[in-house]
Amino acid sequence: MTIYEKLQEIHDKAMKQLNSATNRDELYQMKVQYLGKTGEFTEIMKEMAKLSKEEKPVFGKKVNEVKQALEQIHDQCFERLKKNEILEQMKSEYLDLSLPSTAKGVGAAHPVYLVTEEIVQVLSRLGYSLRLGPSIESDYYNFEALNIPKNHPARDMQDTFFVDDTQVLRTHTSPIQIHALEKEELPLRILGTGPVFRCDSDISHLPNFHQIEGMCVDKKISMADLKGTISFFVREFFGSELKTRFRPSFFPFTEPSAEVDCQCPICKGAGCSLCKQTGWIEIGGAGLMNPKVLQAAKIKYPEWTGFAFGFGIERMAVIKYGIPDIRLLPENNLSFLKQF
């Protein structure tokens, strides 16, 4: 076999193989086999030494032509394989952008929030506007300014979490009254709301619950104003189906004082475990502001008088939605919360 025939044989074999490569790795191995430093072309070039002086440039030119032809085929195959691989990848990663996406769960307002919002809405129609206060209160604002002196038995009405000797987790929203009386101009109609804390837990009591407080300070305020306001509020909030009643009671910061009860929504007054067989659920306390509270805040009494009330928001939610156990509210069980 002449050296020219050998060259032709390498050309034909290489052409066939390069065209049959199925991926770029295979193609690379072939390139090395033919065109690499120790490849078949290098070998045949060594044989050139045997040729005559005249034949050498002729054969050299031929070798270069064959090499260039193979390199061209290699480059074409490389581009073809690269394109195929990209197409394959696109097929395997195909994304149908027209498909509808999976539904995302959207959160909803908690019943405590819903009730708070609605109470604020109803009372804002009577001119009340909302104030907030700190969850950690000094002993002074939580008790003393509200006429509950140290060591007084009235402190036992609210089982308290103490932060230290002078500060407590507020046991009610009534301290918001004092902050407003100290800072704001009269006359005043304010609401205060937020979390409160007591060492309490059963079917109708939580250790961390929410209250909403109302206070009106103006001239010639009487018990009739208080009753009218609460009756309006309860009727607007619960509708006229459930009855409410006022019961004489005691709070150190109001005089006279009353407790407001609402008919139990579960048994409609017949008696059940939620209402402890009484047919009634207490929703809040109320009364005319004790002159001692007004005077401690440097308000002139009897020029100015007032009333105040405080309701438990979870209790209102229990009654409004007929929830059989108040402890369901802070549990955050989604199947329960989804109902509101």
Q: In the complex with ligand FA5, which residue's Cβ is closer, 200 or 225?
A: 200
Q: Which of 137, 138, 152 is nearest to 250 (CA)?
A: 152
Q: In the complex with ligand FA5, which residue's Cβ is closer, 10 or 326?
A: 326
Q: Is 206 in the site for ligand FA5 (CB under 6 A)?
A: yes
Q: Which residues pair with 168 in a beta bridge?
A: 137, 162
Residue 323 CB, shortest distance to ligand FA5, in Å, is: 12
SS3 call for 328: helix
Query: Using the rule CB under 6 A, which residue among 194, 252, 306, 312 binds ligand FA5?
Result: 312
- Distance, in Å, from the CA atom of 202 to the CA atom of 159, rounded to the nearest integer, reads 14
DSSP 209-260: EEEEEEEEEESS--HHHHHHHHHHHHHHHH-SSS-EEEEEEEETTEEEEEEE
Q: In the complex with ligand FA5, which residue's Cβ is closer, 41 or 311?
A: 311
Contacts with ligand FA5 in 258-297 (CB under 6 A)?
282-287
Contacts with ligand FA5 in 54-83 (CB under 6 A)?
none
Q: Which of 285, 284, 282, 306 is nearest to 294 (CA)?
A: 306
Pick the stretch among 93-101, 160-168, 201-209, 268-276 that binds ligand FA5 (CB under 6 A).
Answer: 201-209
Q: In the complex with ligand FA5, which residue's Cβ is closer, 7 or 148?
A: 148
- Distance, in Å, from the CA atom of 20 to the CA atom of 309, rounded to the nearest integer, reads 91
**Cα angle for residues 131, 321, 157 (degrees, 5° grid):** 55
First-to-last CA distance in the chain? 94
Torsion angle, CA of 214/218/222/223, rounded to 10 degrees?
0
Q: In the complex with ligand FA5, which residue's Cβ is closer, 7 or 326?
A: 326
- Distance, in Å, from the CA atom of 135 to the CA atom of 265, rounded to the nearest integer, reads 31
Pick the stretch among 57-65, 184-192, 239-247, 306-314 that binds ligand FA5 (CB under 6 A).
Answer: 306-314
Q: In the complex with ligand FA5, which residue's Cβ is closer, 34 or 311?
A: 311
Q: Is 192 in the site for ligand FA5 (CB under 6 A)?
A: no
Query: Using the rule CB under 6 A, which residue among 142, 147, 160, 174 binds ligand FA5?
Result: 174
Q: In the complex with ligand FA5, which residue's Cβ is closer, 66 or 142?
A: 142
Residue 287 CB, shortest distance to ligand FA5, in Å, is: 5
Residue 105 CB, shortest distance to ligand FA5, in Å, is: 29
Residue type, 136: I
E strand or H helix at 192: strand 188-197
Q: Is 251 in the site for ligand FA5 (CB under 6 A)?
A: yes
* Contacts to ligand FA5 by CB under 6 A: 158, 172, 174, 198, 200, 205-206, 209, 211, 213, 251, 254, 282-287, 308-312, 314-315
